[in-house]
Chains A and B, each alone.
Chain A
């Protein structure tokens, strides 16, 4: 029992990572500040905006509503894990990322990492989303720029390629 920092070990995007966290450090802050993975964004810190969404042991969760100590020993996927190895020195972006760019589903980009991780899990859950059901499935993520239509377009457009990629075991 302690309020001093304790060691926390996670498997992040397939790689073991260890850092120190006070009990009150959220998973979001641990990823950003201790592991330097600043792709996960922090907006409201109270579960409302979805910017901090990551995949924890297969489920999309709010990383601002999980203490890092609670996740010790778990597997975390973050937006940094989406892009794979491309040509030498370059990353190959994930089909969801390509679809977001092509559909103009990114404006300021603050909400984008959260949407990408939510969408990834939504497409793992099923790949036959209709527009109305997908809108509701993504409804926990807020965006102040795009008006959402293009985000839904992007996720629907990416579905076949994401399915193919996930079928190969994803890029984990």
Chain B
């Protein structure tokens, strides 16, 4: 289907973009368009004005500074994926990107767009949450930062306000001692996850777990921390029995959402537990 008519403005600066966003009641940011165009083609959204940031020079840059990779809102994720410097600094990011859609979609889709879109089955919001990232936001009330833990409020819902623009995402680089894995169950490579996990462990000198992060995606309304699993891992040697227990507890307190088209809640829970077990084992043995 074709989209409904709309007004279009190309923003050449963040100031331009904010002015344009403030000029119409129903204005939307257009970044890579890889989620917005399908949504508009299905007429699930009929914005009055699109503010295109995809060619805005100040948003097309990314940099590594003080242990943080800051990625501008107009950087296609394929650019990050193909940059050996990014792969060296943040291998988990590149492994995660390879699970997102297909190269042709990654050639235009952006990291910030995926975070703003907040699809509950998307990989990048889970990565942001697992690694304690945040977004830098510009808006009518000035700039602010929103931590991942506060950003995702529900399926396709974020804490972004009217007229606000995500300027960049800040991804803390994983500590050298930490081991990370990302894995998902999907029907075919490139499809959205029916269940997914990003997990990281740090072990102390005695082989005990000094820090644990387990974040699930594709199973609830937002990416969620598997607090039950994390607690069982902390302070323990990561033996098979501990990993079994952690995986079994991964869904404690998680409100799992299923649907009739893709996968039931029961399937997501069972596949998710197996996935957590597999990913934790990969991390524990460092073959992630």
B41 touches A3 (CB 8 A): no
Q: Which residue in B7, B108, B188 is a CB contact (below 8 Å) of A66? A: B108
Q: Which segment of A78-86, A100-108, A136-144, A161-169 sits at the interface?
A: A136-144
- In the complex, whether A96 has a CB less than 8 A from a CB of chain B is no
Q: Which residue in A3, A46, A62, A69 is a CB contact (below 8 Å) of B104? A: A62
Known: A47-B38, A59-B107, A65-B33. A140 touches B102 (CB 8 A): yes
Known: A45-B1, A70-B33. A140 touches B8 (CB 8 A): no
List A residues 59-77 near B (Cβ within 8 Å).
59-62, 64-67, 69-70
A45 touches B41 (CB 8 A): yes
Q: How far is the CA of A65 from the CA of B104 in the complex (A)?
A: 10
Known: A60-B103, A137-B103. A1 touches B37 (CB 8 A): no
- Mark each residue of chain A from 10 to 37: 1 if its CB lies under 8 Å from any CB of chain B, else 0: 0000000000001110100100000000
- In the complex, whether A113 has a CB less than 8 A from a CB of chain B is no
Name the B residues within 8 Å of A139 (CB-CB): 102, 188-190
- In the complex, whether B3 has a CB less than 8 A from a CB of chain A is yes
B188's nearest neighbour on chain A, judged by CB, is: A139
Q: Which residue in A46, A56, A70 is a CB contact (below 8 Å) of B38? A: A46
A48's nearest neighbour on chain B, judged by CB, is: B38
A64 touches B37 (CB 8 A): yes
- Mark each residue of chain B from 17 to 49: 1 if its CB lies under 8 Å from any CB of chain A, else 0: 000100100000010011001100110000001
Residues of B in contact with A, size category: 35 or more
Name the A residues within 8 Å of B76 (CB-CB): 59
Name the A residues within 8 Å of B55 (CB-CB): 70
B101 touches A24 (CB 8 A): no
B108 touches A3 (CB 8 A): no
Q: How far is the CA of A149 from the CA of B102 in the complex (A)?
A: 19
Name the A residues within 8 Å of B9 (CB-CB): 1
Q: How far is the CA of A1 from the CA of B103 in the complex (A)?
A: 32
Q: How far is the CA of A64 from the CA of B36 in the complex (A)?
A: 12
B190 touches A140 (CB 8 A): yes
- In the complex, whether B265 has a CB less than 8 A from a CB of chain A is no
B107's nearest neighbour on chain A, judged by CB, is: A59
Number of A interface residues, CB 8 Å? Answer: 29
A125 to chain B, nearest CB (A): 9
B31 to chain A, nearest CB (A): 11
A114's nearest neighbour on chain B, judged by CB, is: B104
B8 touches A1 (CB 8 A): yes
Q: How far is the CA of A118 from the CA of B107 in the complex (A)?
A: 12
- Mark each residue of chain B from 133 to 150: 1 if its CB lies under 8 Å from any CB of chain A, else 0: 000000000000000000
B2 touches A24 (CB 8 A): yes
- In the complex, whether B4 has a CB less than 8 A from a CB of chain A is yes
B54's nearest neighbour on chain A, judged by CB, is: A70
B108's nearest neighbour on chain A, judged by CB, is: A61
A118 touches B52 (CB 8 A): no
- In the complex, whether B282 has a CB less than 8 A from a CB of chain A is no
- In the complex, whether A53 has a CB less than 8 A from a CB of chain B is yes
Name the A residues within 8 Å of B253 (CB-CB): none
Q: How far is the CA of A23 from the CA of B7 in the complex (A)?
A: 7
A69's nearest neighbour on chain B, judged by CB, is: B8
- In the complex, whether B50 has a CB less than 8 A from a CB of chain A is yes
- In the complex, whether B88 has a CB less than 8 A from a CB of chain A is no
Q: Which residue in B5, B41, B104 is a CB contact (below 8 Å) of A61? A: B104
Task: Other than A3-B8, A136-B189, give 11 A-B pairs with Cβ distance below 8 A.
Answer: A1-B49, A3-B7, A23-B6, A23-B7, A23-B8, A24-B5, A45-B41, A62-B105, A67-B52, A69-B52, A70-B54
- Nearest 3 pairs of A and B residues by beta carbon: A140-B102, A23-B8, A46-B38
Residues of A at under 8 Å CB distance from B?
1-3, 22-24, 26, 29, 45-47, 50, 53, 56, 59-62, 64-67, 69-70, 118, 136-137, 139-140
- Can you list 6 residue pairs at the A/B interface with Cβ under 8 Å? A3-B5, A3-B8, A65-B105, A66-B33, A139-B188, A140-B104
